[in-house]
């Protein structure tokens, strides 16, 4: 039975969720809304239809963070950014990366166990550090991108090819590692 | 049992796919901003994949105590061992009726340190009985929530909850003490503390027993004699064939069987502590339905464990003519019953017909909850109560006293009355 079609089970899970899980779901919601709010701030404008669809996905992700709905949401938000926001390396981009990471991490923490689970404070502290590493990675790429923009390098087929090889290499690694399990 | 293996979590799949998609679009379209959005997900995916666990941990569970009293707690200890690469373990226990846990959800979690996680769930049993405990599921996740294992089912542990004996005390002596040594004054003279009579001195009497006042007054040597003190044999008969009322556990409303089991436990404890012999017979149980009369504190545990194994209404239509009570002559039989079935009445009257002293303890609580705003059920219950009155009258007509359970002193008056009746001269057929 689908998680969405089993409404009774879904409502039970929400009703039985611990205070911490409720806060994490709230964080997912706040992060999603924050990301949608950053799109117009970054110069992307506001499209009610596209934002409405994102909001629907967001609500589903809040209700079932342990499903693949957050994957669809992250992909949709990334696509929305790519479609609506012009090429930018402003502070809004870094903020968008931070809230997207927060959404992703909150979903991860909310999906750790059954309703009623409360994670240890030390474990949350560990994840807080991990959140920092992820945001640090985004910050590093953001700084590198800004530095490269300053050099105003010409377009290079070699660089594009190398980047594509890198991405495809990563895809291969993932395919092998995930398929093996 | 299916072989468990580590599999990627939705978190890892999300991080991996989203990072790949954003990075690919970023490279193809030449948008570095998308790479910035992909970077945190990429960090997460790389860290998750790099710390992929290998070994499958073993899950073992045990209860700290296999026997507890009502309302007492114990802990369910679950050990996740050998999980190299595992980071966090979650245990979710199925809480059956009459079991409470802290936290109330029955879900606990803990970090895996050096491949081992010890999860401990405090649980309490709220009602006497024998039930399974500890069946649940364990799930383990690797670092960065990359891979998960399980849910792995945990094994059910048997937990016996002994009834908390109600408060009971009795100052009345047994009407027919039949043993050798004990605390109940017997009808024959012997060494004891209870005053018997003052009689003329006989060879063999101890000098300290000489009653000097009477001796001086009468001019002949008199001594104070005592009656022997013997132990009594008590047979407890618990009617488990019918249970009326909704039990609320140790802190809530009591059903008829709750009252019967706790009262029987209290009476057994009282007499066994005083050194008497106590036997137990369950009416309506198919197995472990009899405990022979014996003495001692270890025997109390045996009686309470048998009471804990009572299953309400397991065998309500037991044939009273086939019951063997094994009650020695002179035993006091205490029947704990709500007197709602013919079986209990027939068993009680059969025991009384054998010349045993029988007392019925009415276990129907005053606040028993039967009907819940249902007029038909209410009417049926009233009819049942009328039938019960008729059954009680039948029991009382053959000289069996019926008393309601009220804790300390419940049996005092009836035991004294039975004692007086036993001491009275009786007509004998010649």
For residue B278, the distance in angstroms to the closest alpha carbon of chain A comes to: 47
Interchain contact, A68 vs B33, CB within 8 Å: no
Interchain contact, B16 vs A178, CB within 8 Å: yes
State how far the Cα of B334 lies from the Cα of B278, in Å rounded to an integer: 11
Enumerate the H helices of chain A as residue ranges.
7-16, 19-41, 48-63, 69-84, 91-110, 121-151, 157-180
Percent above pLDDT 90 for chain B: 9
Burial status of residue B246 (CB atoms within 10 A of its CB: 0-12, 13-18, 19 or more): middle
Counting one residue from chain A and one from chain B, the pairs whose CB atoms sit within 8 A come to 178
- Structure confidence at residue B185 (pLDDT): 61
Judged against a pLDDT cut of 60, whether residue B280 lies above it is answered with yes
Q: Find the residue in B nearest to A128 (Cα).
A: B144
State how far the Cα of B403 lies from the Cα of B363, in Å rounded to an integer: 9
State how far the Cα of A9 lies from the Cα of B160, in Å rounded to an integer: 32
- Tell whether A72 is within 8 A of chain B (Cβ): no
Chain B residues in contact with A170 (beta carbon < 8 A): 19-20, 23, 42
Q: Where are the domains of chain A?
A: 1-119, 120-181
Please give the structure tokens belonging to residue B239.
Answer: 């009617």
Least confident span in A168-172, B308-312, B325-329, B391-395: B325-329
What sign results for the dihedral spanned by CA atoms A48, A53, A56, A62? negative
- Structure confidence at residue B230 (pLDDT): 63
Q: Residue B317's beta-bridge partner residues?
A: none
Residue A68: phi, psi to the nearest 5? -90, 5
Please give the structure tokens belonging to residue B397.
Answer: 């007509």
Judged against a pLDDT cut of 50, whether residue A1 lies above it is answered with no
State how far the Cα of B335 lies from the Cα of B360, in Å rounded to an integer: 5
Judged against a pLDDT cut of 50, whether residue A51 lies above it is answered with yes
Answer whether B122's CB lies under 8 Å from B73's CB: yes
A95 confidence band (pLDDT: 50, 70, 90): very high
Interchain contact, A104 vs B5, CB within 8 Å: no
User: pLDDT by residue (tens digit) across B63-85?
Assistant: 888 888 888 889 999 998 877 88
- Tell whether A114 is within 8 A of chain B (Cβ): yes
Query: Is domain B58-162 given the CATH code 3.40.50.300 in the classification?
Result: no
Centre a 10 Å sphere on the Cβ of residue B210 and count the other Cβ atoms it contains. Answer: 14
B232 confidence band (pLDDT: 50, 70, 90): confident
Q: Which residue has the higher pLDDT, B421 or B19?
A: B19
Interchain contact, A138 vs B110, CB within 8 Å: no
Determine if residue B98 is left, alpha or beta; phi over 0 gives left, psi from -120 to 50 gives alpha, anything else beta.
left
B169 confidence band (pLDDT: 50, 70, 90): low
State in words which class domain B233-423 has: alpha beta
State how far the Cα of B58 lies from the Cα of B3, in Å rounded to an integer: 11
ipTM: 0.90
Q: Residue B368's beta-bridge partner residues?
A: none
How is residue B251 annotated by DSSP? T
User: pLDDT by residue (tens digit) across A96-150?
Assistant: 999 999 999 999 999 998 888 899 899 999 999 999 999 999 999 999 888 887 7
Pairing verdict, β B332-337 and B357-362: parallel
Is pTM beyond 0.95? Reply is no
State how far the Cα of B361 lies from the Cα of B417, in Å rounded to an integer: 15
Chain A residues in contact with B121 (beta carbon < 8 A): none
User: pLDDT by residue (tens digit) across B187-219?
Assistant: 666 676 667 778 888 888 888 888 888 889 998
Q: Find the residue in A nearest to B45 (Cα).
A: A174
- Tell whether A122 is within 8 A of chain B (Cβ): yes
Judged against a pLDDT cut of 90, whether residue A26 lies above it is answered with yes
Ranges of beta strands (E only) in B169-221 are 184-189, 195-200
Residue B284, classed as helix, strand or coil, is coil
- Structure confidence at residue A37 (pLDDT): 93
User: pLDDT by residue (tens digit) across B245-268?
Assistant: 777 777 888 888 888 888 888 888
For residue A130, the distance in angstroms to the closest alpha carbon of chain B comes to: 8
Chain A residues in contact with B92 (beta carbon < 8 A): 113-114, 116-117
Least confident span in A118-122, B167-171, B251-255, B421-425: B421-425
- Structure confidence at residue B184 (pLDDT): 60
Among partner residues A88, A122, A167, which is closest to B23 by beta-carbon distance?
Answer: A167
- The mean pLDDT of A52-75, rounded to a whole number, is 93
Among partner residues A68, A134, A140, which is closest to B10 by beta-carbon distance?
Answer: A68
Interchain contact, A93 vs B23, CB within 8 Å: no
- Structure confidence at residue B373 (pLDDT): 72
Whether the bond into B151 is cis, omega within 30 of 0: yes
Judged against a pLDDT cut of 70, whether residue A180 lies above it is answered with no
- Structure confidence at residue B171 (pLDDT): 62
- Structure confidence at residue B1 (pLDDT): 43
**Mean pLDDT, rounded, of chain B:** 82
For residue A48, the distance in angstroms to the closest alpha carbon of chain B comes to: 22
Pairing verdict, β B332-337 and B233-239: parallel
User: pLDDT by residue (tens digit) across B19-59?
Assistant: 989 988 988 888 888 989 999 999 999 999 888 888 888 88
B277 confidence band (pLDDT: 50, 70, 90): confident
B2 confidence band (pLDDT: 50, 70, 90): very low
- Tell whether A25 is within 8 A of chain B (Cβ): no
- Structure confidence at residue A173 (pLDDT): 79
Q: Where are the domains of chain B?
A: 7-50, 58-162, 184-230, 233-423
Chain B residues in contact with A100 (beta carbon < 8 A): 37, 40-41
């Amino acid at each position: 039975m689908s998680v969405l079609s089993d409404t009774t089970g879904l409502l039970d899970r929400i009703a039985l969720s611990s205070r911490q899980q409720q806060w994490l779901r709230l964080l997912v919601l706040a992060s999603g809304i924050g990301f949608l709010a950053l799109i117009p701030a970054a110069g992307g404008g506001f499209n009610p239809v596209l934002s409405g669809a994102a909001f629907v996905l967001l609500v589903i992700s809040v209700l079932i963070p342990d499903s693949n709905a957050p994957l669809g949401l992250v992909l949709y938000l990334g696509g929305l950014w790519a479609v609506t926001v012009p090429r930018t390396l402003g502070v809004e981009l870094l903020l968008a990366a931070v809230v997207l990471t927060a959404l992703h991490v909150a979903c991860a923490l909310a999906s750790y166990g059954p309703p009623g689970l409360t994670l240890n404070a030390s474990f949350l502290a560990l994840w807080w550090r991990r959140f920092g590493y992820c945001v640090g990675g985004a910050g590093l790429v953001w700084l590198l991108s800004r530095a490269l923009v300053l050099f105003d390098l010409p377009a290079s087929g070699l660089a594009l090819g190398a980047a594509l090889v890198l991405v495809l290499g990563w895809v291969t690694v993932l395919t092998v590692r995930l398929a093996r399990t | 049992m299916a072989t468990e293996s580590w599999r990627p979590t939705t978190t890892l799949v999300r991080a991996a796919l989203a990072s790949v998609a954003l990075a690919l679009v970023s490279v193809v379209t030449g948008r570095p901003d998308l790479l910035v959005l992909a970077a945190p997900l990429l960090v997460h995916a790389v860290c998750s994949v790099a710390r992929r666990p290998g070994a499958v941990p073993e899950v073992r569970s045990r209860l700290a105590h296999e026997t507890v009293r009502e309302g007492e707690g114990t802990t369910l200890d679950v050990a996740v061992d050998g999980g190299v690469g595992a980071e966090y373990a979650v245990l979710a226990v199925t809480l059956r009726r009459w079991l409470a846990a802290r936290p109330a959800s029955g879900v606990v979690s803990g970090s895996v340190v050096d491949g081992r996680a010890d999860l401990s769930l405090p649980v309490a049993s709220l009602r006497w009985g024998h039930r399974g405990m500890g069946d649940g599921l364990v799930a383990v996740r690797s670092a960065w929530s990359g891979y998960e294992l399980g849910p792995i089912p945990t094994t059910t542990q048997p937990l016996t909850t002994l009834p908390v004996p109600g408060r009971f005390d009795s100052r009345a002596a047994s009407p027919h003490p039949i043993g050798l040594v004990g605390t109940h004054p017997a009808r024959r003279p012997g060494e004891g503390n209870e005053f018997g009579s003052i009689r003329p001195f006989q060879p063999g009497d101890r000098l300290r027993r000489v009653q000097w006042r009477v001796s001086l007054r009468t001019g002949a040597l008199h001594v104070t004699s005592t009656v022997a003190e013997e132990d009594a044999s008590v047979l407890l008969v618990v009617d488990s064939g019918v249970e009326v009322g909704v039990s609320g556990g140790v802190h809530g409303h009591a059903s008829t069987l709750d009252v019967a089991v706790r009262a029987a436990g209290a009476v057994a404890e009282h007499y066994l502590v005083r050194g008497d012999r106590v036997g137990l017979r369950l009416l309506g149980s198919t197995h472990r339905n009899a405990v022979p009369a014996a003495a001692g504190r270890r025997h109390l545990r045996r009686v309470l464990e048998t009471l804990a194994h009572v299953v309400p209404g397991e065998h309500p239509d037991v044939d009273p003519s086939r019951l063997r009570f094994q009650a020695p002559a002179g035993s006091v039989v205490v029947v704990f019953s709500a007197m709602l079935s013919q079986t209990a009445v027939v068993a009680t009257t059969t025991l009384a017909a054998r010349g045993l002293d029988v007392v019925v303890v009415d276990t129907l609580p005053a606040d028993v909850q039967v009907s819940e705003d249902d007029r038909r059920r209410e009417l049926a219950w009233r009819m049942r109560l009328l039938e019960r009155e008729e059954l009680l009258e039948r029991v009382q007509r053959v000289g069996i006293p019926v008393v309601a359970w009220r804790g300390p002193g419940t049996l005092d008056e009836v035991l004294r009355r039975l004692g007086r009746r036993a001491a009275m001269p009786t007509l004998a057929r010649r």
